[in-house]
Amino acid sequence: MKNNKLKGIWSTIKKVIAYAKPHKMYFFLSIIFAFLAIGLNMFVPVMLGWAIDCVVGVGAVNFGKLGRVLILIGVVAVLSATFEWFEVYFENILTNRTAQSMRNKCFEKINRVPLKYIDNQPHGDIMSTIINDIENVTDGFLSGFKSILSGVVTIVSVIIFMLSINIPMALIVIVLAPLSLLISVYITKKSKKLYKERVNKLGQISAYSEEMLGNIKVVKAFNNEKQNIDNFQQINKQLYASSEKASFYASLAWPCTKLVNGTLYAIVAVSGAFVCIRGHISIGQISTFLSYVENYTSPFNEIASIVADIQIAIASANRVFDLLEEDDEVSDEGCPNIVNCNGEVKLKDVCFSYTSQSKLIENLNVTATKGKTIAIVGPTGCGKSTIINLLMRFYDINSGKIMVSNRDIQKVTRKSLRNCYGMVLQESWLYNASIRDNIAYGKPDATMEEIIEASKLANAHTFIEKLPQGYDTIITESADNVSAGQKQLICIARIMLTKPPMLILDEATSNIDTRTEMNIQQAFDYIMEGRTCFIVAHRLSTIINADEILVMNKGKIVEQGTHQELLSKNGFYTQLFNSQFGG
């Protein structure tokens, strides 16, 4: 079991190194300057010893030599500080560029994984992985390993200098000093599980915060602020508990190592005094030796602290690589494109369920010919929006076939399939950019004339022109500087611009008032002409003119026909219609 853990840690380290490898030049530059700084710092205690020995007694001071030594110490100090600055500078470049590479890969990954993965993961937790965990990885591993390497070089250098001054005292230091490291390793081992728990709790609190902030209006509408605060405080309490325990063990390392080092310092000072009395070394050499003792023990203290950071980095790295190693959606590389889509769609014996335990859509058969408008209605949860997800291949069917232009959509590229559809959803999505950029989202190279034409067709041009900056008006992050209806009109203009051969309208007018809906219906009539359309609707008044209405219930089509044909059956559709129009 222990070997498996070690293999797992080493495997994680190798993965991190793979991301840092392209930037290895900065690692080596940082190490070179670190070694140069260490080398100069090793001579500072020697020079301080020389300075002390220049002061023999009252009236017996070698001012000439003392002045030269002090100037030399100043020059060495300036050079050492300069080298340390370059060390930190190149180390920061290494960590920042590695973090940049890992974040790019993570963001690329979330655009390649199946939509099911995104739907099933708290979005705040994914954000925490991309932001906080990667920061922990680069700080813990890259900075930590560099510091450990520098510490080892410092220890070896100090040993050489101490042995050159006094071998017996050097052996005492060499034997006793590592006790502080052993204590730190023991304490760190105890805290490993706690650090992992802490990282997970950070992800949870990030996910909850993102979820609540994104829906704060709903929270306030239901007067749920207190429950919201209580839930947050509960998660925060768990985070505090895990952090407190981890910090307790981590805080033990420093005083324990200081106790060992302080005891060692006292032993060396006392023994050095006796050696000096016997005339074997000078006062200056004792001072030099004591400085080396401190230089020798400091890396052990730093390594103890770094090991704790590495524990956090390991826990964070596991979360990062869990995301990066998630399976991509099934590749469509090598598949042909749909060329010249004719607008014909066929669903043959389609079966689909989100989970194996709960069946949803079974043996669904639908045929939509070019220019036909298919409306999909039914109670909430019956599978209406699921059909849209399957048509767009956001989810893959379990069995059966979906054909577009006589091509199996699982055997063509997703890009060409999705280019066949223009999609307007119930929840209009605009991003923080100008209205012009939002409309041109599906066609970035569109001219201003094309954008204005699309806006006019969507009846959005008039209100856009009245805005302070017109088409250059920046949509705020929450899009609260335009109304819900205006947001939807901008989204509709976005589709008008691309002129796709087929349309999907998923509750596209549900957030628009009746007057606005009447205005855009003309635009829909224009763009729908000659195009295959799938309309998901709760308000049956919007689909009474559809060529065919699919009435769904519990994942199955229970009725099928035109509005009048369905009413004449006096069945499930009639019940839905009467529930909205009072019989």
- Alpha-carbon distance of 174 to 238, in angstroms, equals 43
Give the tokens for residue 308.
Answer: 């704790």
Same domain, 135 and 272: yes
124, 246: one domain: yes
Identify the domain boundary among 478, 499, 520.
Answer: 499
Quick one: how far is CA 566 from the chain centroid? 49
Q: DSSP character for 429?
A: -
Residue type, 453: E
Q: What is the CATH number of the domain that holds 491?
A: 3.40.50.300
Same domain, 313 and 442: no
Domain membership of residue 104 (yes or no) is yes
Residue 240, in any domain of the structure? yes
pLDDT of residue 132: 85
* pLDDT for 339: 85
C-alpha dihedral, 46 to 51 to 53 to 55, nearest 10°: -170
Q: Which of 268, 301, 304 is nearest to 165 (CA)?
A: 268
- Is residue 467 in some structural domain? yes
Q: Where residue 206 sits, what CATH number does that domain have?
A: 1.20.1560.10
Task: Specify if 312 maps to a domain.
Answer: yes
- Which residues are CB-contacts of 292 (< 8 A; sequence separation ≥ 6)? 45, 158, 161, 162, 165, 173
Domain assignment present for 338: no
pLDDT score at 401: 92
User: What pLDDT is recorded for position 509?
Assistant: 61
Residue at 187 is within a domain:
yes
**Residues lower than pLDDT 70 in the chain:** 1-7, 56-61, 180-181, 184-185, 188-193, 214-223, 250, 253-254, 279, 301, 304-305, 308, 426-427, 477-480, 508-523, 582-583
The pLDDT, as a whole number, for residue 179 is: 73
Q: What is the pTM of this model?
A: 0.70
* Residue 227: CB atoms within 10 Å: 11
Contacts 24+ apart (CB under 8 A), 102-105: 102/19, 102/134, 102/137, 102/138, 102/320, 103/130, 103/131, 103/134, 105/19, 105/324
Q: What's the domain range around 465?
A: 429-499
Residues 114, 238 within the same domain: yes
Last residue of a domain, one of 469, 499, 529: 499
What was the pLDDT predicted at 480?
67
In a domain, residue 347? The reply is no
Q: Which residues contact 47 (CB under 8 A, 6 or more apart)?
A: 69, 72, 73, 76
Amino acid at 246: A
Question: What span, in angstroms and rounded, lies between the C-alpha atoms of 251 and 197?
Answer: 18
Let me know if 30 is exposed, middle or buried by CB neighbors in 10 A (0-12, 13-18, 19+).
buried
In this structure, the answer to whether residues 111 and 257 fall within a common structural domain is yes
**Domain co-membership, 308 together with 440:** no
Q: Is residue 79 one of the residues assigned to a domain? A: no
Asked if 311 and 434 sit in the same domain, the reply is no
Q: What is the pLDDT of residue 5?
A: 61
**Is residue 483 within 8 Å of 430, Cβ to Cβ?**
no
Closest of 345, 429, 336, 341 to residue 390, by C-alpha: 345
Which are the contacts of 285, defined by CB distance < 8 A and separation ≥ 6?
A: 49, 53, 165, 166, 276
Domains held by the chain: number: 2
Can you give 161-187 as a three-state secondary structure string? Answer: HHHHHCHHHHHHHHHHCHHHHHHHHHH
| Domain end point (choices 499, 519, 550) | 499
